Amino acid sequence: MWTGSYKSILKYYNIKNKIAWDWASMDLTMVEAPKGGA
């Protein structure tokens, strides 16, 4: 139930704000976390 609601809200938000999720997910995989914490 929650997953379906979350997906529909995210879809609406994505259409309204035109977020490029493909680029956002690529950025997360290309940037490494700092060693030993922040």
pTM here is 0.36
pLDDT of residue 29: 57
Helix residue ranges, H only, the chain:
2-17, 21-30
For every one of its 38 residues, what pLDDT tens digit does the chain have, with 9 covering 90 and above? 677 788 888 777 777 777 666 655 555 555 566 777 65
pLDDT of residue 10: 78
24 neighbors 30 (Cβ within 8 angstroms): no
- Angle made by CA atoms 14, 11, 20, in degrees to the nearest 5: 30
Q: Which two tokens stand for residue 17?
A: 């704000």
